[in-house]
A and B are shown apart, each in its own frame.
Chain A
Amino acid sequence: MTNKKLLRSLTIIVKSLRVGVMSTVLTSAVFATGVSAKELGWPEKEELKFGFIKLTDMAPLAVAYEKGYFEDEGLYVTLEAQANWKVLLDRVIDGQLDGAHMLAGQPLGATIGYGTKADIITAFSMDLNGNAITVSNDIWKEMKKHVPHQNGKPVHPISADTLKPVVDDFKSKGKPFKMGMVFPVSTHNYELRYWLAAGGIHPGYYAPHKGDTSGQIDADALLSVTPPPQMPSTMEAGTINGYCVGEPWNQQAVFKGIGVPVVTDYEIWKNNPEKVFGVSKSWAEKNPSTHIRVVKAMIRAAMWLDENNNANRPEAVKILAKSQYVGADYEVIANSMTGTFEYEKGDKRDVPDFNVFFRYNATYPFYSDAIWYLTQMRRWGQISEPKADTWYKDIAKQVYRPDIYAQAAKALIAEGKAKAADFPEFATETGFKPVQKHFIDNIWYDGSQPNAYLEKFAIGLKKDSQI
């Protein structure tokens, strides 16, 4: 047995030696002139390194790797978990990573210069929904008194109205009420703020022009950054009273018995866009065919994830449970990935669209999605100055690149790997979704009129208001 193992390790060493020898011999022997294929060029860069954060919505990357979709495109991809969103973004900017699983707000924030300024673009939206807000057991005990019940079970969606008395109580005792989110421009930050504000709890303003990036001006609830995998342990330690994060870290709290998820983002805004696949603009310009091929592989992965009514999800969960990907227990990941969600321990409900990877055109980069995030950046003061509607559209068009997506999709259709019906009608698609009506506070969103949308909120900056 040991001999066999040794032998195997030896063969690997021999192989890596061979790699070195082969590459030097070949590069010195032949000077190739690039000949591009007729349809889609060969990849300019074949060895790629992509970063991700340990969350179930990195699934398209893991699936594209494990199912060989990247290799089918002639790409040799290494996937590497990153410590936090900031490290991940910095490494994409300085070129250590070719691309990464990113928060939808990151390419937008980077482009408008909130945080690190850099041109990041995205041609692929990775998923819809997939987040939830969890509070600690103590907070839940207090909240529960105000939550309407039916047949002995809480009625969902739970609004933040029920949390308000708890926050007021904290305030009267002079204690700070703290919650965690994963990054200043994360979907989680905006969803948590949206939910809190809808219940009359002020989540605080940012004032970057005054150097205040804590986002706690006028706040009833103090929000701060915690990396996703550390959320449960930070709440267990009592540093925060609740958090908004992606899976499996809400279900982890249920399994560990340290907290209760109270609301999913599906209930806050039905089918909200979540992660995107971001690359730096200069990388995309240098490697156009590579970029299209990456998007092709990821579209196939997303299709596989949603195929036959989520039939492949159990297999996907098995992949994600490997320690190099998400690494949490199979049961924890399966809880949300297979179309259910467990709120209080034992209160497991069907949420078939909790994780959407492909259906409802989930992978298409809609301008209106980008603009929603920009409106929230303005609402909470990350964009300190008022901006015209045209500005919102320009930024969205700069960052979101449906043109690249369309090329990838058309190539897949031509190869017979996808049907035209799976995608939006590329010739007529404007990139703006029709007015979206499913928000927890029943405020409608029309992406073509961002300033009018901001007017509708009771809490938040609008028009000319400034901090």
Chain B
Amino acid sequence: MSKKDLRLKIDELSSALGTFKGLEIEVGRIFEEDWEEPLGPTPFPNVGTLRSWDRKLLNRYKPFYMPFCDLCCLCTFGKCDLTGDKRGACGITMAAQQSRMFLIACCIGASTHAAHARHMLDHLIEEYGRYAPLDVALNTNVEAPHVRLVCGIRPKTLRDLEDALEYVETQLVQLMAAAHTGQEGDNIDFESKAFHGGMLDHVALEVADIAQIATLGMPKGVPDVPTTQLGFGSVDPTKAVIMVIGHNVLPSVDIIDYLMEHDLFGEVEIGGLCCTAHDNSRYNKRAKIIGPISWQLRFIRSGIPDLIVVDEQCLRTDVLIEAKGIGIPVIATSEKSCLGLVDRTDDEPDRIVDDLVEGRIPGVLIINPRKVGEVAVKTVMKVAPRRAEFKTLTRKEISKLAEKCRNCLECVRACPNNLPIMDAVQAAAQGDFEPLAALYPLCVGCGRCESACPLGFPLITFINKGAEDRIMGEKYPIRVGRGPIQDVEIRAVGRAIVFGEIPGIVALVGCANYPAGGADVAKIAEEFLKRRFIVVTSGCSAMDIAMTRDEEGLNLYEKYSGVFDAGGLVNVGSCVANSHITGAAIKIANIFAKRPLRANYEEIADYIYNRVGAVGVAWGAMSQKAASIAAGCWRLGIPVVVGPHGAKYRRNLLGRKDKEEDWMVYDARTGDEVYVGPVPEHLFYAAETVEEAMVMIAKLSMRPNDTSKGRAVKLNHYIDLYQRHYGDMPDDLHLFVRREVDIPFTMKDEIMEVLKKAGWVEDKIAMPDPTITERLVRRRT
């Protein structure tokens, strides 16, 4: 079903009707004929097309539901109590309701990325034309692995991406419809639909990112990309400061362009939070990354920004109130987030600037990115001189306020991490600001404590003040997002990954809702970099990795290269660049193993699941987008570990290593069904501690296809981490050692003793050519 427009362009046509110049005619769409790869079995899959594949996975990894709410309140029959074996008025069960809510979360996440991609694509087509070529990565033929795999089309221009995106949009409507009252009723079918939403999400991510790479001059998969600065200290406060927040780079691009065209970078700083910051730095390395999304309140309250420009996703919806608090205006730039502001898109820029500078309006909505560029720069230059008038609370003032604390504990009860805020406030009342400073690296910046405080204390400001000596100068280098992984890199490492000699790929992605601060992400990254895993990262996690230094003052970006190879630390970029991480796994199956890619989802996923030791880690997963990104990983057979807050996604997908019958695969050479042990043991897993997560990451990197050498390497890491953190040998080694040669040489005696106690028998666990898809068996016995 690969399809393309028939396009006829005529420079000049003379006819009886007259003379036409520059005539273009488009007639429907035709199949692409020049792609020699045969069309696979599942082009543009519908909601049910890959259901049987999903059920294979979900039969092995059954959901353990943890209802976040015992009620359903989606229709007027309700609220319905679904506790235990009760059913709602529509007949729905608790299990189905939990998976239904997860499906809705996935649809929100995937729709958000798809809407982002749509805005990006439409705008770029307007700017660069529909036939702008998709040149997205050096040394690369497979420019869009997700689009090729899912849709069965080979995109060459922006126009081709429209086909993929239209498909995503159509399918998302189908998925949302399934969540209506009285539609789907089976929890596993809801889960399958969530997987479908995840798959669509990665197509949308890919569309958004390759469109911007191809047209905006972002790095094309280059390992040695430029570095930029991250942190409060990266912004020069002597200049006018524009703070951009969100995920869609387009308005910021025009701000940067305006600064460049008018040679104003010497007078104006542009610093970003969250993925817009990543993409700004991919566009122009003079743009600064202030920090992750959780720093919105922190940075605004610092009084440094002179103007806030918001685009879309993960914004604080009270940004207008916050901006008012420091006396600066806001420019909203997306119809998805209008914030109640008047649409001034069609007004004269200077009139808008005048209204903003004079404070006649708190902010404006401007949908045209080019106009945003002009208005933002002109406004910030006029507002900045007023910054001196803004004063943050002094320590003395905070101490005085803190004396009034009622000891009600509401701040602690409101805090997602139960941080000892009240104790810190009481210490501040005594003039001791250290406890407040100690909260700074642990605080997720949500501000719930402030909402809960009956006295309305600005507790985020208190914490900022406690840590101000440290934070105002903090500055860390970070490699800008490099975008895709090149085909040549895949060729270089494919064999070592598939045979397990590179122990795995660890993808540290996602938001900043950490249980105990972002330093844990850097800790995980360093652990696996030292162990010669390939560590890939994006979004807020990529930022938090930058913020830990060793004794010599170096951070991980300074210590490890950006090459996609063992011991490489690869920052792909923003959320939408996550598609390149899963895209790399797809390309291993296609480029290294030469499995057909085109519309061949099940076979490629089966390959990745059984052979590619990739593990996703979203330690601070917060959003619905994170849910859909994870679901896209699951359908590809990639397990995902989340932090404790990730348990709030309502269920884990857990394997049962004690049930041998769950771990049977086909040997593709013979068709025999054989036992391969619980690898990978789980598909979605919330860890309680970072130490538990690290052990689990090492364990989840094992795959049935590992060679003995590869399995020995992986076991070595698993055992070493387990011994370090659990103080003993793992009690399940007999499930992972297939033959004596799998045993890490240096631990052989110790492990043999453990295996003997467990009644281990050599060769009980098979080493087949593994597949869980019967049709992929090449020869039947």
A, B: real partners: no
